[in-house]
Structure 1
Amino acid sequence: MKFTADLHIHSRFSRATSRDLGLDQLWRWAQLKGIRVVGTGDCTHPEWLAELERELIPAEPGLLRLRREPPQSQVPDSCRAPVSFLISGEISCIYRKGGRTRKVHCLVLLPDFGAAHRLNLALSRVGNLASDGRPILKLDAKDLLAMVLQASPHGLLIPAHAWTPHFSIFGACSGFESLEECFEELAPEVHAIETGLSSDPAMNWRWSVLDGITLISNSDAHSASKLGREATIFDTELSYDGIYRAIAGGKGVAGTIEFFPEQGKYHADGHRCCGVRLSPRETIAHGYRCPACGGKLTVGVLHRVELLADRPAGARPGEAPPFRSVIPLIDLIGGALRVGCSSKKAEALYFELLRGLGNEFHILLEASLEKIAARSTTTLAAGIGRMRSGEVEIKAGYDGKFGTVSVSAPDGDAT
């Protein structure tokens, strides 16, 4: 069966996350967005893991559901659907290798609580798991992979947001130049990478080293409403094993839903303090120094891809599944109404559209523009149409500053 999953999120036990990241709100927002399977996030944190064991019960094989679901009134009838959870977590590995300090974030997927406890026991010998939902450990990513596989042969380690400069396997600041350089003889056990908000599959297709590696996308949500800003579409059995086989074998991942990568906060090169955004060519011309202050520039994802790519832009492996790039619906509504995305006016129209048309992914990707216009404004409908065809206006993100991606629509009703 075909379903959408967001497997990389966080709980309220991670630093810099919202207090609303509890199971009830994840259950609610998964339905509002159109997500069938959600990662639990933060399975290494002892308090969160204990809460997961109290509040979740078995659903489909290897997946879980809420023991007591909240009142259905929290979700419009048009969005109601089952939600299953998959045990997941993110671990920050900071260590020395090859004469350099490496900082690699890794997404871990596990088939059951037993595997989570076995992994946590091994990790607890390395560092303090209670300090952060995404623990920072002095641990080689290769050794983490070995621990995951020892906890369960069906465990998965997936390099998270693989291209971001500071905390990723291929990032400009501390990254490697191949999976083998990082994981050595265990590299064949790494079956996928997460593209991250600042890159998309088309950028990854330019590097032949990644042929045969499954590309997945997830939100890395730090609040419940950010769930699904990126996601992976599976066409496989609804179970942990189905998801595992799709990722490990490359068959069964039907596509991804993506940010426009320019919207990611590390897409371009730049220096945020000086408001300087540069292309790779401009960065090279300035000797990797900020033209305003002379400080070191942060080299972004686009530049890093350009350095490692061995194919031209537009290249695509024959077996690669498709992807769709979207702008969050609340952002489109804010632009159409010319109000802030968090304004009551924008939120009211957001939930009116959900009640009338269905979940957010359906509205962004499938609903007829005529029905959207009838429920909202012609301006918003035209904007969604332009987004679907890739007619967007972009100011790329850089050095930790999110980019802006917008659609220009013909003059019309903006109310």
Structure 2
Amino acid sequence: MRFHADLHIHSRYARACSKDSDLEHLTWWAQRKGIALMGTGDFTHPVWFERLRESLVPAEPGLFRLREDLASGPAADVGGALPAGVVPGQVRFMLSSEVSTIYRRGERTRKIHHLVYMPGFDEAAAFNRELERVGDLAADGRPVLAMDSRDLLELTLGSGDGAYLVPAHVWTPWFGVFGSKAGFDTVEECYGDLSEEIFALETGLSSDPAMNRRVSALDRYRLVSHSDAHSPPMLGRETTVFDTDLDYFAVLRALRTGKGYAGTTEFFPEEGKYHLDGHRVCEVRLDPAETRELGGRCPVCGRLLTVGVLSRVEELADRPEGFRPDDAVDFRSLVPLPEIVGEVLGVGPKSKKVVKLLDELTTALGPELSILQDVPVDDIAVHSSPLAEAVDRLRRGEVIRDPGYDGTFGTIHLFAPDEPKGAGTAAAPTLF
């Protein structure tokens, strides 16, 4: 079975996250996007943990589904009609949480985020009991703990068979294992004698597999992508694609061995908010060569720049741009459908006009990920010729990139500012 998984999200109990990030909204939006397998996010938070235990029931091994009365009753109708072809209640969940560790190592303060996965509530409860000795789990859905990354990995592995840890958004300057501000140069430096227990890395919104392939030290890891969604509409902006049984342990085997790991759907890395170097306050954005020439300091105020993902990849790279290993798995770069519709209509991606057209499109054509990748362009043109042209360009990779830096998201456009929309269209092959 080939399916999209989004295994890094947050609940309403995480800071700066939407109050709508409850199970009903998350399930509805997963169906809207075309995601079959979701992380629960935040199982370390005591209130959310109890909500998960009350609302989820066992499905396939290690996976859960929303309780029948919640999945099919009035509470499930949180966003209107579901996309064409979607059967209510088929989304599966696995227990997931992001954990932040802050500690001193090598005369530097390290701030590293990790994704932790558990095959069941007993294992998750055991993990939470150990974390309660270290910090206040009720303070935030993503707990912040004074704990070494290596020790968190040991605690994870000791929680039960099938428990595992994936370093989160590994290139992010402040919180990634390779981040310029608080990270390391290798996985081995971070996790020490347990580093062999790391078999997958989440690469984050500001990089893509083409960039990561330049670093040969990453060849042995499965590179996964997820949304890190702080609200339900942000689900699926990146996903990992599996071709396995819908089963926690099948997913785990795919990540360990590569068999059944079928690639990722990605942001264009320039859209990520840490792609280039810069200083947001001074509105300075620089490429790696410019940063090196300036000695890493802002040309306006003289303070240290935030060194972004592209610079860090270049620092650690031992291969040229464009290198592709023989066993490389494919990926697809996408732009979220609301952003494309907003550009076509000349309004913001959250506007009523966008919502109306999205409802029309998904009701007629299916989930958003399918519209972006699989639905024939001629079928999209029935609803909007300019949108069909935009999707066709997206599938060919013909986009205009305005890179993000120092916490500011970049933008990807399908049309030049003065270009009339709605030229000819032609179908193109898709990956998934």
TM-score tier after normalising by the smaller chain length: over 0.9
Deviation at 1:70, TM superposition (A): 3.9
Distance 1:308-1:412 versus aligned 2 partners, 3 A rule: closer
Tell me which residue corresponds to 2:420.
411
Tell me which residue corresponds to 1:9.
9
Tell me which residue corresponds to 1:400.
407
* Regions of 4+ moved over 2 Å: 70-77, 409-414
Asked if structure 1 preserves the Cα contact closer than 8 Å seen for 2:83 and 2:362, the reply is no
Give the one of 332, 335, 359 matched to 2:343.
335
Aligned AA (1:24) = E
Aligned partners of 1:184, 1:159: CA distance in 2, in Å? Answer: 14
Describe the SS at the equivalent of 2:103: strand
1:316-362: CA deviations, max 9, x gaps?
Answer: 22222100000000000000011111111111001110011000010
Asked if structure 1 preserves the Cα contact closer than 8 Å seen for 2:389 and 2:422, the reply is no
Q: Which runs of 5+ in 2 are unaligned?
A: 424-432
Distance 1:284-1:148 versus aligned 2 partners, 3 A rule: same
Give the one of 392, 397, 403 matched to 1:390.
397
Aligned partners of 1:8, 1:287: CA distance in 2, in Å? Answer: 35
Deviation at 1:369, TM superposition (A): 0.8
1:109-258 pair list within 5 angstroms: 109-258=117-266
1:369 matched to 2:339: no
Tell me which residue corresponds to 1:28.
28
TM-align CA RMSD: 1.2
Aligned partners of 2:144, 2:83: CA distance in 1, in Å? Answer: 41
Distance 1:201-1:62 versus aligned 2 partners, 3 A rule: same
Asked if structure 2 preserves the Cα contact closer than 8 Å seen for 1:79 and 1:354, the reply is no
Distance 1:79-1:90 versus aligned 2 partners, 3 A rule: farther
Deviation at 1:412, TM superposition (A): 4.0
Identity rate, percent: 53
Aligned partners of 2:136, 2:12: CA distance in 1, in Å? Answer: 17
Aligned AA (2:124) = A
Distance 1:77-1:402 versus aligned 2 partners, 3 A rule: closer
**Which deviates more from structure 2 when the two are superposed, residues 70-79 or residues 232-241?**
70-79
Deviation at 1:79, TM superposition (A): 4.8
Deviation at 1:153, TM superposition (A): 3.0
Asked if structure 2 preserves the Cα contact closer than 8 Å seen for 1:332 and 1:383, the reply is yes
Aligned AA (2:18) = S
Describe the SS at the equivalent of 1:273: coil
Asked if structure 2 preserves the Cα contact closer than 8 Å seen for 1:31 and 1:75, the reply is no
Deviation at 1:75, TM superposition (A): 3.6
So what's the TM-score if we normalise by structure 1? 0.98
So what's the TM-score if we normalise by structure 2? 0.94
Q: Which runs of 5+ in 1 are unaligned?
A: none
Asked if structure 1 preserves the Cα contact closer than 8 Å seen for 2:83 and 2:365, the reply is no
1:222-242: CA deviations, max 9, x gaps?
Answer: 000000000000011210100
1:161-213: CA deviations, max 9, x gaps?
Answer: 00010101000001111111111110000010001000111111110101110
Deviation at 1:411, TM superposition (A): 2.3
Distance 1:310-1:413 versus aligned 2 partners, 3 A rule: closer
Aligned AA (1:360) = E
Asked if structure 1 preserves the Cα contact closer than 8 Å seen for 2:7 and 2:39, the reply is yes
Aligned partners of 1:153, 1:84: CA distance in 2, in Å? Answer: 20
Aligned partners of 2:193, 2:229: CA distance in 1, in Å? Answer: 32
